[in-house]
Chains A and B, each alone.
Chain A
């Protein structure tokens, strides 16, 4: 029981990471400047903790 609880707590504290695949960034200012300078659109995936 204690082990299960510890596992659950450790999973809860684990920082959420973006999904596999694309080269994600969380530096919004740098992302916006790249889009501005290179004429690219930004693709924004909005999500939250559940």
Chain B
């Protein structure tokens, strides 16, 4: 059922309009302010594929993941409302902020500043102090992000501060933010440390690769990729993903990135893991192709015969008559060529030719030729 045409506009959801806060999180990937704000929400909720319908609390923790029917949204909403923490509204502070906004509108700016500064200096459970500071910034302009904001109570300001930090000198305070409660801050901390002091990322590798949010794992993988110290952690992370000890909203994407990282830095110990996945020869799955390429890279780098042996087991089946009708023939052949090219990469042997057709006979012939060359 189309989400935008039938599910979300359905009048049956009207009863929920004032019981739930409806948030549209749209990415256009143009990196403008709206896109970056949406990216932060994606990071905080661990979303890296689309579409997703989630009920979350005010800390961006997922309460319920909704199905894609009107009934499923209604049912998920009921569970989310029951799970949401109780409200923290303070009518007196609401009124004080509204009064300050009104003072700004009518030109009584000093009066507004005084009132807002008083609220901003106070403590409350409803983020009124942070809102008062935001209103002050709307009035007088927000100071440029700086290292002083790394300990700010507002996650957006901590994230902005990380993005604004110069790589040199290295800001040691950033290390504490690798364990920040906000996933977007953790991700930006990983990126900063990877850029400014990559050697400091490895000690935290295992924890970062097991982060509940995929964006943090992906940033950690990018930072650890190609480093000797990170290689063991990456292999362990694959095993943990297999064993269900690492959660991911999109495990296939994570596995693909782990495979790519192994290709860049892992040794022979990664071959059984990559080989087992590649041997399934799932030609429509991009991760299969990444595993094949990674085996070639490991074979070339380590001179390990095991990588080449694993690749020989990864050739897909021959094409069938049905493949043409299903329009998958090209995918099968592409994987077969990918395995062949990875074998060339792993062994340096360019003497085995890829056949002009991928039928049973030519497949058997190619596998035999590679096996003989590996003896």
Q: Which of B202-228 contact A (CB under 8 A)?
A: none
Q: How large is the interface on B (under 10, 10 to 19, 20 to 34, 35 or more residues)?
A: 35 or more
In the assembled complex, the Cα of A35 lies from the Cα of B58 at a distance in Å of: 6
Question: A23 CA to B20 CA in the complex, in Å?
Answer: 10
State the CA gap A36–B56 with chains docked (Å).
Answer: 11
Chain B residues whose C-beta falls within 8 Å of the C-beta of A3 in the assembled complex: none
Q: Decide if the interface of chain A is mainly helix, strand, loop or mixed.
A: mixed
Q: Are the C-beta atoms of B26 and A18 separated by less than 8 Å?
A: yes
Complex CA–CA separation, A22 to B50 (angstroms): 20
A32 closest partner in B (C-beta): B58
Assuming the contacts A36-B87, A38-B89, A42-B57, asked whether A23 and B17 have C-beta atoms less than 8 A apart, the reply is yes
Instruction: List, in ascending order, chain A residues with CB within 8 A of B26's CB.
Output: 16, 18, 26, 47-49
On whether the beta carbons of A46 and B54 are closer than 8 Å, the reply is yes
Tell me which of B8, B17, B38, B60 contacts A19 (CB under 8 A).
B8
A36 with B58, Cβ < 8 A, contacts A21-B10, A46-B50, A46-B52 known: yes
B40 within 8 A of A: yes
Tell me whether B176 is interfacial, beta carbon within 8 Å: no
Instruction: Tell me, in angstroms, the Cα distance from A28 to B4 when the chains sit together.
Output: 20
Which 5 pairs between the two chains have the least Cβ-Cβ distance? Answer: A39-B87, A36-B58, A21-B9, A41-B80, A18-B24
Would you give 21 A-B contacts (Cβ < 8 Å), ordered by A? Answer: A16-B26, A18-B24, A25-B24, A26-B25, A26-B34, A26-B38, A31-B21, A32-B58, A36-B58, A37-B89, A40-B81, A42-B57, A43-B16, A43-B53, A45-B51, A45-B52, A46-B25, A46-B42, A47-B26, A48-B28, A49-B29
